[in-house]
Amino acid sequence: MTETTASIPAAGPQRSSLTGLVLRNPLGLLATALIIVVLLTAIFAPLIAPNDPAAVQIFKVNVAPGDGYLLGGDGSGRDIFSRLVWGARNTLIGAAIAVVVAALLGVTAGLFAGYFGKWYETASSWISDALMALPALIVLLALYQALGASIYLSMGIFGIMLSPGFYRLTRTLVKGVKNELYIDAARVSGLTDMRIIIRHILLVVRAPVVIQTSIVAGIAIVIQAGLEFLGLGDPSMPTWGGILQNGFQNMYNAPLGILWPGLAISITVASLVLLANAIRDAMQTGAAPSFRTPAIPAKYAAATPAPTPEEGVLLDIRDLVVAYPDGNGWREVVHGVTLQVRKGDVVGLVGESGSGKTQTAFAVLDLLSTGGKVLSGSITFDGEDLTKKSETEMRALRGRRIAYVPQEPMSNLDPSFRIGAQMVEPLMNVLGLSKAQAKARVLEMLARVGLPDPERTFNAYPHQVSGGMAQRVLIAGAVASSPDLLIADEPTTALDVTVQAEVLELLRELREEFHMTVVMVTHNFGVVADICDRVAVMKKGEIVEENAIGALFSNPQHPYTRMLLGSVLEDTEVRAYRAPAAKGNAA
**Residues from 203 through 222 that contact another protein (CB under 8 A):** 203-204
Cα 140 from Cα 147, distance rounded (Å): 10
Compute the least distance from the CB of residue 280 to another protein, in Å.
Answer: 18
Compute the least distance from the CB of residue 363 to another protein, in Å.
Answer: 22
**What's the DSSP call for residue 197?**
I
Compute the least distance from the CB of residue 191 to another protein, in Å.
Answer: 5
Contact pick of 181, 295, 303, 436 for another protein (by CB under 8 A): 181
Comparing C-alpha atoms, which of 351, 365, 376 is closest to residue 398?
A: 365
CB burial string 498-513: b at 16+ within 10 A, e below: ebbebbbebbeebbee
Contact pick of 199, 388, 456, 515 for another protein (by CB under 8 A): 199
- Residue (14 or 290) nearer to another protein, CB: 14
Compute the least distance from the CB of residue 174 to another protein, in Å.
Answer: 14
**Residues from 549 through 568 that contact another protein (CB under 8 A):** 549-550, 553, 563-568
Sorted by sequence, the CB contacts under 8 Å of residue 477 that are 6+ apart come out as 422, 423, 426, 442, 445
- Residue (326 or 385) nearer to another protein, CB: 326
Sorted by sequence, the CB contacts under 8 Å of residue 237 that are 6+ apart come out as 90, 151
Contact pick of 23, 191, 230, 270 for another protein (by CB under 8 A): 191
Sorted by sequence, the CB contacts under 8 Å of residue 437 that are 6+ apart come out as none
**Residue 188 near another protein by CB under 8 A:** yes
**Residue 8 near another protein by CB under 8 A:** yes
Comparing C-alpha atoms, which of 248, 268, 270, 272 is closest to residue 259?
A: 248
**Residue 2 near another protein by CB under 8 A:** yes
* Residues 449-488: x where in contact with another protein by CB under 8 A, - otherwise, as a string: ------------------x---------------------
Write the DSSP string, 311-327. Answer: TTEEEEEEEEEEEEEET
Cα 183 from Cα 200, distance rounded (Å): 7
Q: Are 140 and 227 in contact (CB under 8 A)?
A: yes
**Residues from 516 through 545 that contact another protein (CB under 8 A):** 523-530
Comparing C-alpha atoms, which of 180, 177, 175, 166 is closest to residue 208?
A: 166
186: alpha, beta or left? (left if phi > 0; alpha if psi -120 to 50)? alpha
Length of the chain: 587
- Residue (299 or 578) nearer to another protein, CB: 578
**Residue 287 near another protein by CB under 8 A:** no
Compute the least distance from the CB of residue 170 to another protein, in Å.
Answer: 17
**Residue 19 near another protein by CB under 8 A:** no
**Residue 187 near another protein by CB under 8 A:** yes
Long-range contacts of residues 246-251, Cβ cutoff 8 Å, at least 24 apart: 246/74, 246/75, 246/76, 247/74, 247/75, 247/80, 249/75, 250/62, 250/74, 250/75
CA of residue 344 relative to chain centroid, distance: 40
- Residue (152 or 553) nearer to another protein, CB: 553
**Residues from 487 through 506 that contact another protein (CB under 8 A):** 496-498, 500-501, 504-505
Compute the least distance from the CB of residue 202 to another protein, in Å.
Answer: 10
Contact pick of 293, 328, 392, 572 for another protein (by CB under 8 A): 572
Cα 17 from Cα 26, distance rounded (Å): 16
H-run or E-run covering 146 = helix 136-147
**Residues from 408 through 427 that contact another protein (CB under 8 A):** none
**Residue 116 near another protein by CB under 8 A:** no
**Residue 184 near another protein by CB under 8 A:** yes
Compute the least distance from the CB of residue 499 to another protein, in Å.
Answer: 8
**Residues from 345 through 404 that contact another protein (CB under 8 A):** 352-353
